[in-house]
Amino acid sequence: MTRKTILTLLLACLILPVAQAAQPIKTLLITGQDGSHYWRGASQGIEKILENSGLFEVDILVTPDFGEDINRFEPDFKGYSLVIINYGGATWKPSVRRAFEKYVSDGGGVVVLHSSIIPMEDWPAYNEMTALGAWNGRDERWGPYVYWTEGGRYIYDYTPGYAGYHGLQHETVVDTRAPGHPIMQGLPPRWKHFKDEIYTKLRGPGRNMEILATIEEQGRHEPVMWTVGYGKGRVFVDVLGHCGNDPELTYSILCTGYQVTLLRGAEWAATGTVTQPAPKDFPLEDTFTLRPEFKAPFHAY
Ligand code: ZN
């Protein structure tokens, strides 16, 4: 074997795994209005998390800004297997709503992030897709408070009252509540999440939802990640990942637990399965870990 042949073989070994991998999942990330978050930094971080995994190819679509005409927003969902919503602004116009409802009910995948459960309270199908929402005037008319209780039961609390509350940001422990779900399979039952803003008192229709993970706040196990079925479509909602109004304030999405569950939730929403093994750098109950480069370290798998 000549040196050239050996070199060619070596190169083939290096290139083949990439060439043989499935096509990246075509992803549309919608962002552009959010009064209380640094949506640009969060969206860029999310794009890096997804693309660095090699599993996703992301197009970012920025809506008109606050005060501009939202009716100019005309996304084309065709050709995408996944739509990620990182958006806290004005409700989309009726034709866009109808196109999105069709995209999801025909089997499209959706990921809804953090403050994206706040907007579009006047759009019933969006409330169904997210299952739970917060703020923007939501109250008992939108549905019950939903939380988890010991024994795996869901509590549907119809007490009248506002939806949405959060206290100061803090480090916290996340409890896995659906260990058999593809998104959670193989991950620790409890893991530490880096400093974040924890939403509580969420309420909404709460239909076709499965709670994947909770955080204990004020004595209640509040859902922080869940799935929703809408027609043939799959929705993954993750309300962790607060990014403040300052470009420096994106620390919550540096958490390895956040990044790994986002990648798994995104793959599941798009395909119905998760091919990613549980990584070695996943946080434990008493130790958080970070991925500051928005990618897995060399020996993570
Ligand atoms: Zn927030």
Q: What is the pLDDT of residues 137-159, one digit of tens each?
A: 999 999 999 999 999 999 999 99
Q: Evaluate if residue 29 carries a pLDDT over 90.
A: yes
Q: Which helix (H) or strand (E) holds 27?
A: strand 25-34
- What residue type is 249 in one-letter code? L
Return the pLDDT at 5.
54
Q: Evaluate if residue 199 carries a pLDDT over 60.
A: yes
- What residue type is 291 in one-letter code? R
How far is ligand 1, taken at its centre, from the CA of residue 229, in Å? 25
> Distance between CA atoms of 231 and 220, rounded to whole angstroms?
31
Q: Evaluate if residue 184 carries a pLDDT over 60.
A: yes
Confidence band, pLDDT 50/70/90 cuts, at residue 198:
very high
Q: Which residue stretches of 21-61 are H helix?
A: 39-52
Q: Evaluate if residue 8 carries a pLDDT over 60.
A: no
Contact 42, 250 (CB under 8 A): yes
How far is ligand 1, taken at its centre, from the CA of residue 166, in Å? 9
How far is ligand 1, taken at its centre, from the CA of residue 195, in Å? 12
How far is ligand 1, taken at its centre, from the CA of residue 204, in Å? 19
Instruction: Tell me the pLDDT tens digit for each residue of 162-181.
Output: 999 999 999 999 999 999 99
How far is ligand 1, taken at its centre, from the CA of residue 10, in Å? 48
> Distance between CA atoms of 49 and 46, rounded to whole angstroms?
5
How far is ligand 1, taken at its centre, from the CA of residue 209, in Å? 22
Q: Evaluate if residue 190 carries a pLDDT over 50.
A: yes
Q: Evaluate if residue 13 carries a pLDDT over 60.
A: no
Return the pLDDT at 21.
57
How far is ligand 1, taken at its centre, from the CA of residue 92, in Å? 21
Instruction: Tell me the pLDDT tens digit for each residue of 227-251.
Output: 999 999 999 999 999 998 777 778 9
Mean pLDDT confidence for 72-94? 97
How far is ligand 1, taken at its centre, from the CA of residue 256, in Å? 19
- What residue type is 133 in one-letter code? G
How far is ligand 1, taken at its centre, from the CA of residue 3, in Å? 57
The owner of tokens 């897995």 is 296
How far is ligand 1, taken at its centre, from the CA of residue 199, in Å? 8
> Distance between CA atoms of 137 and 164, rounded to whole angstroms?
10
How far is ligand 1, taken at its centre, from the CA of residue 237, in Å? 14
Q: Which helix (H) or strand (E) holds 110?
A: strand 109-113
